[in-house]
Amino acid sequence: METILQAASLLQAARRAGALRRRGRGRLARATKIVGPEWMFHPDGMAVDHYENFPVASLLLPARLRGAVKAIYRFARSADDLADEGQAAPEERLRALAAYRAELHRIGLGPAGGGPDPDPALAQIFAPLADAIARHQLPLAPFYDLLSAFEQDVRVARYETYDALLDYCSRSANPVGRLMLHLYGAANDDNLRLADAICTGLQLANFWQDVRLDWNKGRVYVPQEELRRHGLSDADIARQAVTPAWSEMMRAQTARARAQLQLGAPLAGRIGGRIGLELRLVVQGGLRILECIDATGGDVFLKRPELGPRDWAVMLWRACRAAPWNTETNPR
């Protein structure tokens, strides 16, 4: 896969005017894709090329959370690369991800758990992650879910149904949003449901944005049932022909992603403060990508939709317009 988590940030907009270049995947919510995605904030200058459309770094992120977010990002980014980058055979990729799973298990056992010694080759990733998990009392389930999605990326290249794709999103993108809510101390049932909708929407937007790039990697995220419903097949992706049937199919997919983002949008008001403003920008980034796709009739072959300076201006205006600016909200 390429997950999740995965987003774009005010800091990145200021630094690079929305002209970031992703290496072609980013499904960490991707997102991000923070983006996922999938959303994933990036605190201090690590590579962000997978997640240029949705926040990955931010001046709005509270300083007390930056170390934890950096640790989560490093874990997810490196595991995603194990599943997707380089020329390793599938068996090698799965063995490497199994080592990550073993380290998570060791963290779960705790210092007195009697488990195996930590792998020194992975200490740079898992020592700070263990500290973040302990310090912020983070659940382990989202980390296991991410690994499950990465392992699925190694094994699965097609999705028969939309429900199967949503199941994948629930593990490739949604865990990032859930971890962020735990860090913010806002992980109640209603907020988790809204965060899942946003992360799934960002992930879907990234899928539709990257149809050509994923095809070049041997993957098709458009459900096969959706292709057949519109009289299409993988052969139409290979031809990269934007026919009326293709445009209609893509409009149906962007509508689904848009519905997810709009469903989750009230989360920004529930969280409030700086994080709420950033989340509004995340949602607007996903919606803007979908607008760009629709504006081309679904032509994601000739040029991958990306956000430029004008798009950032529109997103920021819409995000600020939607903000309640309640002085009683918690800046977190």
pLDDT, one tens digit per residue, over 130-189 is: 999 999 999 999 999 999 999 999 999 999 999 999 999 999 999 999 999 999 999 999
Q: If we measure between CA atoms, which residue out of 131, 122, 134, 141 comes closest to residue 179?
A: 141
Instruction: State pLDDT tens for residues 293-306.
Output: 999 999 999 888 88
Does residue 166 lie in a domain region?
yes
The domain spanning residue 118 has which CATH number?
A: 1.10.600.10
Q: What is the pLDDT of residues 270-298, one digit of tens each?
A: 988 778 888 888 898 899 999 999 999 99
Range of the domain at 130: 10-322
CB atoms within 10 A of CB 309: 12
**pLDDT by residue (tens digit) across 197-239?**
999 999 999 999 999 999 999 999 999 999 999 999 999 999 9
Which pLDDT value is given to residue 115?
Answer: 64
Mean pLDDT, rounded, for 241-260: 97
Asked whether residue 327 is domain-assigned, the answer is no
Burial group, residue 224, by CB count within 10 angstroms (0-12, 13-18, 19+): middle
Note whether residue 332 is domain-resident.
no
pLDDT for residue 242: 96
Q: How confident is the model at residue 12 (pLDDT cuts 50, 70, 90)?
A: very low
In a domain? residue 330: no
**Is 1 domain-assigned?**
no
User: Into how many domains does the chain fold?
Assistant: 1
Q: Map residue 28 onto helix, strand or coil.
A: strand
Give the list of residues 6+ apart from residue 224 with CB closer than 8 angstroms, or none.
158, 159, 160, 161
- Residue 240 in domain: yes
pTM for this model (two decimals): 0.81
Give the pLDDT score at 240. 95
Q: Would residue 212 count as lying in a domain?
A: yes
CB 228 within 8 A of CB 310: no
Task: Identify whether 329 is part of a domain.
Answer: no
CA distance linking residue 158 with residue 16, whole number of Å: 35
Q: Examine the pLDDT at 43 and tell me if it is beyond 60.
A: no
β-sheet bridge partners, residue 308: none
Amino acid letter, residue 246: W
